């Protein structure tokens, strides 16, 4: 079975079908078709894990078909321990997004659902592409559905936010295209990414390629100082858009470092590791302080995402197994936790139509079930032991200690800042006396919202209590990547 092709094209096909249905009088049918498409798309990804051989670092479930034969471009797919979990995460989050929009989106429902399903397939394509040009096509194509989602269903400044998101990420990616074309000619006319891993490149070329890739992936992560598009995009995006943006799309940039920067230009990656680590620590420290003074809940969680993704890039560029594995675990955990936090904000916004922290207070008195979920996700965002948020951060800190104790000490401050801004928000929104009439009249979450929250809570707790299945899958691939880069610790 071509599981990867199914995981890519099944949601895209269902999305196109939904666009063809058209009118809003069919909205209920559209919702059920979208849910069926999302669930089926997730089901076809399950064999990728159940049939995955964790003892090898080789690509698995590979598919190769000729595409543009004149230029030796192939439709080449495969996954290894570095990428397979992101395919499942993408399909899982798509189900959550479809459920979250069930009663909230009542106009252009087919376009909304169709855009998310098409986006889901394109993001799976990014994580499974083994041809450079195919990767670039999927990587850039993801911009279009998200641009439409923000631009049509977003807030008052949605057009500004959509344009800023599109231009930032597009401009960064153009340099990556130049790098891909250079590698194509340097490899004798091949876009095979795995063949590029073996190219003997001089240091000068590696440095230029490193910064070309860095321009594309750093914007997507996003790293400081090219992060300014993210808070605007999150604030203006609808709830589903914020969930996918935080849970999956930020991971595309971090994944690019694993698949391109580290293995293709290992010497330049080592040479410029201190530069990337410095930017990562600025994200962890400075952005944490910025999050602390936010009054808008969405903006606070958006800045929180930048700080947590700084942890990911830090883990990757300390060049040891614990750091890289911790960075990947942090990416998966962040997918669950940040997605859940944006959903919680969406639940409140649907009822009160405000994202300002000052508009709430004492929510636990009127929405106890919802508040229990929200506090759990907030604790995971703080890195509380027993939740998924702790595992990745702890692994990265331990890996950083092996490289340099003082770097680890600085990185660990994110746990303090993370707890500060998250608990400060929780205290003002959920606890205390009921602050105003809007909160007094709130109704607790319904069965649909409870089911959605319960799925994410189960994922957060499962990964926090028993992360072994996740780490076992990636262990061999991470070890092979470290061996390929040829360094075990930062000198």
pLDDT tens digit sequence for 258-317: 999 899 988 888 888 889 898 888 888 888 888 888 888 888 888 888 888 888 888 898
pLDDT digits (tens, 9 = 90+) for 43-94: 999 999 999 888 888 888 988 898 888 888 889 999 998 889 999 999 999 9
Kindly tell me if the per-residue pLDDT of 487 is higher than 60. no
Closest CA relative to residue 92, chosen from 460, 475, 471: 460
Question: What's the mean pLDDT in 214-224?
Answer: 87
Q: State residue 489's pLDDT score.
A: 34
pLDDT at site 491: 31
pLDDT category, 123, cuts 50, 70, 90?
Answer: very high
The pLDDT score that the predictor gives to residue 488 is 32
Q: State yes or no: pLDDT of 1 exceeds 80.
A: no
Average pLDDT of the residues of the chain? 87
Q: How many CB atoms lie within 10 A of CB 409?
A: 12
* Per-residue model confidence (pLDDT) at position 409: 85
* Domain spans in the chain, listed from the N-terminal domain onward: 272-491
Q: Is the pLDDT of residue 486 over 80?
A: no
Band the pLDDT of 6: cuts 50, 70, 90: very high
With contact defined as beta carbons under 8 Å apart, do 224 and 286 qualify?
Answer: yes
Q: How far is CA 388 from CA 73, 120, 302, 309, in A?
A: 39, 23, 19, 15
Mean pLDDT of 163-179: 86
CA distance 44 to 14: 14
> Do residues 52 and 32 lie in contact, with contact meaning Cβ atoms separated by under 8 Å?
no
For 180-202, the pLDDT digits (tens) are 999 998 888 888 888 888 888 88
> Would you say 15 and 115 are in contact if contact means Cβ atoms under 8 Å apart?
yes
With 70 as the cut, is the pLDDT of residue 490 above it?
no
What pLDDT score was predicted for residue 9? Answer: 93
Q: Could you tell me where the beta strands, DSSP code E, fall in 231-304? A: none
* pLDDT at residue 108 in the model: 85
Segment 127-146, tens digit of pLDDT: 999 998 999 999 999 989 99
pLDDT at 352: 85
Query: b/e per residue, 257-276, with b = 16+ CB within 10 A?
Result: bbbbbbbbbbbbbbebbeeb
Q: Which two tokens stand for residue 84?
A: 């397979």
Place of tokens 């850039």: 140
- Please check the confidence at residue 342 and state whether its pLDDT lies above 70: yes
- 377: how many CB neighbours lie within 10 A of its CB? 27
pLDDT digits (tens, 9 = 90+) for 394-412: 888 888 888 888 888 888 8
């Amino acid at each position: 079975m071509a599981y990867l092709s199914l995981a890519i094209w099944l949601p895209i096909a269902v999305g196109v079908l939904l666009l063809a249905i058209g009118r809003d009088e069919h909205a209920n049918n559209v919702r059920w078709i979208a849910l069926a498409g999302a669930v089926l798309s997730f089901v076809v990804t399950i064999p990728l894990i159940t049939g995955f051989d964790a003892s090898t670092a080789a690509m698995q479930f590979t598919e190769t078909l000729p595409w543009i034969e004149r230029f030796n471009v192939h439709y080449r797919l495969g996954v290894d321990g570095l990428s397979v979990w992101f395919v499942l995460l993408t399909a899982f989050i798509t189900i959550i997004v479809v459920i979250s929009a069930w009663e909230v989106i009542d106009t252009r429902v087919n376009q909304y659902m169709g855009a998310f399903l098409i986006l889901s397939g394109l993001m799976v394509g990014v994580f499974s592409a083994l041809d450079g040009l195919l990767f670039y096509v999927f990587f850039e194509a993801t911009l279009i559905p998200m641009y439409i989602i923000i631009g049509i269903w977003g807030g008052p400044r949605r057009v500004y936010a959509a344009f800023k998101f599109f231009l930032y990420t597009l401009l960064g990616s153009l340099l990556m295209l130049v790098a891909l074309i250079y590698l194509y000619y340097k490899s004798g006319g091949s876009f095979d990414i795995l063949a590029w891993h073996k190219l003997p490149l001089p240091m000068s070329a590696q440095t230029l390629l490193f910064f070309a890739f860095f321009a594309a992936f750093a914007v997507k992560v996003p790293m400081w100082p090219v992060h300014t598009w993210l808070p605007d995009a999150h604030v203006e995006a609808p709830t589903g858009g914020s969930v996918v943006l935080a849970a999956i799309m930020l991971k595309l940039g971090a994944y690019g470092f694993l698949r391109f920067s580290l293995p293709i230009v290992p010497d330049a990656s080592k040479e410029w590791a201190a530069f990337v680590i410095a930017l990562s620590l600025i994200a962890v420290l400075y952005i944490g302080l910025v999050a602390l003074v936010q009054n808008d809940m969405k903006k606070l969680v958006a800045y929180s995402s930048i700080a947590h993704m700084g942890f990911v890039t830090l883990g990757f560029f300390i060049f040891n197994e614990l750091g890289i594995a911790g960075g990947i675990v942090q990416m998966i955990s962040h997918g669950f936790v940040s997605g859940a936090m944006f959903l919680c904000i969406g639940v409140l916004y649907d009822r009160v139509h405000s994202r300002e922290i000052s508009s709430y207070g004492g929510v636990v008195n009127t929405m106890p079930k919802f508040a229990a979920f929200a506090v759990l996700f907030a604790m995971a965002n703080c890195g509380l032991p027993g939740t998924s948020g702790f595992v990745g951060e702890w692994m990265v800190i331990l890996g950083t200690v092996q490289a340099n104790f003082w770097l680890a000490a600085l990185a660990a401050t994110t746990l303090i800042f993370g707890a500060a801004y998250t608990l400060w928000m929780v205290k003002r929104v959920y606890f205390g006396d009921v602050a105003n009439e809007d909160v007094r009249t709130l109704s607790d979450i319904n069965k649909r919202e409870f089911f959605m929250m319960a799925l994410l809570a189960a994922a957060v707790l499962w990964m926090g209590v028993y992360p072994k299945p996740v780490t076992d899958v990636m262990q061999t691939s991470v070890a092979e990547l470290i061996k390929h880069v040829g360094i075990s610790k930062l000198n």
